[in-house]
Structure 1
């Protein structure tokens, strides 16, 4: 799986083309489609936008009102998320500072953008936000933003990739002592986990899986030792006197020849 650095290297190789598209995004010249969200308006190009999003392409086709007027109005979306999405469509990346403008924790903004990528069917943006989410989760797990993002991830259903939920559970399990403590961070995460059944269940399942794995390791360690040489017996002693005669308490064998297992 590619990481953020690999994607950035690819972008650098495509810099001349991306620079041209970025200029097109910033200039309404030759635009033939308007996208509106709240008080924001973007003059964009159908060829570029529709090639990246089948959802927007469908809205521009056939007898839809948007096709006739050359206008798409997004009533339910965050305008800063929409702008970041459109920037990605033109440049294959987005500015991380949008979260500051939107007054939203970076990791929460990334999840919202990830869900927008699902809504508008933009696989590349979905993949990039998943990668950025992983990096942000590792850096922000001690913040209230991580708890808020965890709730979003587990309440969004198929709108987010399963990998995001796995990241939350893995980090939360690794840092359970602090995230379930009585300090501010712990109280915040505990409140979110209590109010988000899917998250609570996932954490409980991971704990059970971990305990089962530990029990299996203990059981296996107890089996390590020396096996009785009598065919069909199979009894194991953890320690034996290699220079003396050992007795099998299971079959009654007395002698040497115990096999290390």
Structure 2
């Protein structure tokens, strides 16, 4: 029987990651300097270039950054970039220690992951965003995060926008309820962000599309007044159950009247 090296391998990987995680604090063997305003990070080309296609391209032979050993960043939040490097070296980051709020921080982490082509960071930040947004969708932070996502990122940034839209659609009934004030900040943001509302409308139209192609039927139990709408057509087989009288059967037991769009029992007269 072949020996089991799994535990030994896992311990080795753990020691490797722990060793790498000490590099940013010691700056030992650092050979690349990243600047943003008055902030500076001394990092290691072999690490950041493996994790980010942006830095790999910047450090290619012949580029100014490769010759001078300096990469300048612009228009980013220094605290977010700091957490980005934390992720590059440690494969995680702390989103509790932030003045931004956890929802907005993770929105910005998704944005920098897309901007600097850092594999997996967008997915990691998305999982964190989903977790926090599930409880924060009524807050001002959530509205501010959507505002920033739709005003500062490209339309092609689908990872971020689709994540936000999934949360919004799940709670759309409450978020767009004009008779309550809990989500007033969200509604104000939506009113001034047409690109966001355009995508919400597209999602809602897609969700309602099956109902527009549906027809009206009635329960085949003539003592039951229930009328229902369904996209099911005459040629399809399915099983169903009336929510009121509990009548149930296979569609093969009934005739689907195309003229009156009613479900009829065999031999029953059509209702005009």
Pairwise TM-score range, normalised by the shorter structure: 0.7 to 0.9
State the shift of 1:34 in Å.
1.4
Instruction: Give the alignment of 1:194-213 within 5 angstroms.
Output: 194-213=191-210
Q: Distance in 1 between matches of 2:110 and 2:30?
A: 26
Residue 27 (structure 2) pairs with residue 28 (structure 1): yes
The residue number in structure 1 matching 2:150 is 154
Deviations 1:71-117 (A, max 9, x none): 2222322111111111111111111134x2xx212111111121111
Question: Cα gap change, 1:248/1:34 in structure 2, threshold over 3 Å: closer, same or farther?
Answer: closer
State the shift of 1:246 in Å.
3.6
Q: Distance in 1 between matches of 2:74 and 2:173?
A: 42
Task: Identify which of structures 1 and 2 has the higher relative contact order when contacts are C-alpha pairs closer than 8 Å and 6+ apart.
Answer: 1
Q: Is the 8 A contact 1:118 1:159 kept in 2?
A: no
Question: Cα gap change, 1:40/1:236 in structure 2, threshold over 3 Å: closer, same or farther?
Answer: closer
Q: Distance in 2 between matches of 1:200 and 1:158?
A: 13
* TM-score under structure 2 length normalisation: 0.72
Q: Distance in 2 between matches of 1:236 and 1:129?
A: 49
The residue number in structure 2 matching 1:238 is 263
Q: Secondary structure at the match of 1:149?
A: helix
Deviations 1:163-213 (A, max 9, x none): 433333333233223212455542111111111112112222333333333
State the shift of 1:67 in Å.
2.0
Tell me the number of residue pairs that the alignment of Structure 1 and Structure 2 aligns.
230
Question: Cα gap change, 1:213/1:125 in structure 2, threshold over 3 Å: closer, same or farther?
Answer: same
Looking at secondary structure, tell me which structure has more helix per residue.
1
Q: Is the 8 A contact 1:227 1:235 kept in 2?
A: no
CA RMSD of aligned residues (A): 3.2
The residue number in structure 2 matching 1:255 is none
Residue 175 (structure 2) pairs with residue 179 (structure 1): yes
The residue number in structure 2 matching 1:74 is 73
Residue 103 (structure 2) pairs with residue 107 (structure 1): yes
Question: Cα gap change, 1:13/1:214 in structure 2, threshold over 3 Å: closer, same or farther?
Answer: farther
Residue 221 (structure 2) pairs with residue 218 (structure 1): no
State the shift of 1:248 in Å.
4.9
Question: Cα gap change, 1:210/1:33 in structure 2, threshold over 3 Å: closer, same or farther?
Answer: closer
Question: Cα gap change, 1:182/1:20 in structure 2, threshold over 3 Å: closer, same or farther?
Answer: farther
Q: Distance in 2 between matches of 1:153 and 1:132?
A: 16
The residue number in structure 2 matching 1:89 is 88
Question: Cα gap change, 1:218/1:57 in structure 2, threshold over 3 Å: closer, same or farther?
Answer: same
Q: Distance in 2 between matches of 1:59 and 1:84?
A: 20
1:125 to 105, 121, 124: 121
